[in-house]
Amino acid sequence: MNDPASPSCAARFAPDAYMGFLSADEIGACLNSLWRLAPDAAARQRLADLGAEAGEPAPDAGAFQALLGQSLPKIRSDDLHAALRDLRQ
C-alpha cells in the first residue's frame, strides 16, 4: 500500500480524539450519562444494549436530548451514530 499523498488523505488513519471525535473512554462516559438521563425504560434498554452501564436514573428529557445533540457530531462509528440518532425526538 502506498503512503497517503496528503495529510487530508491520511485523516482516516488518525486517532479519533485527534480528529475531534470522542475517544472510546469518552463514548463510554457519554453512554452512561445518556442512560441516567434517558426519559424512559425503552431508551435505557437501547443504551444498555450499546454498552451503557446502569446507574441511578435521573430522567431529564431536555438534558438527554441536549447531550445527544452535542454528542452525535462527535461519534465516528456509523453504527453507533445511527443507533443514537434513532433516540432523537
Q: Residue 31 and residue 67: Cα distance in Å, rounded?
A: 10
Residue 76 has pLDDT above 80, yes or no: yes
Are 34 and 51 in contact by the 8 Å Cβ rule? The answer is no
How is the chain split among helix, strand and coil, in percent rounded to 5? 60, 0, 40
Residue 10 has pLDDT above 80, yes or no: no
Using a pLDDT cut of 70, give the percent of the chain over it: 93
Residue 66 has pLDDT above 80, yes or no: yes
Residue 1 has pLDDT above 60, yes or no: no
Residue 29 burial (CB count, 10 A): 14
- pTM of the prediction? 0.82
| Angle made by CA atoms 24, 30, 76, in degrees to the nearest 5 | 50
Q: Residue 38 is inside which H or E element, if any?
A: none
Determine which of 13-17, 22-26, 61-65 has the lowest per-residue pLDDT on average.
13-17
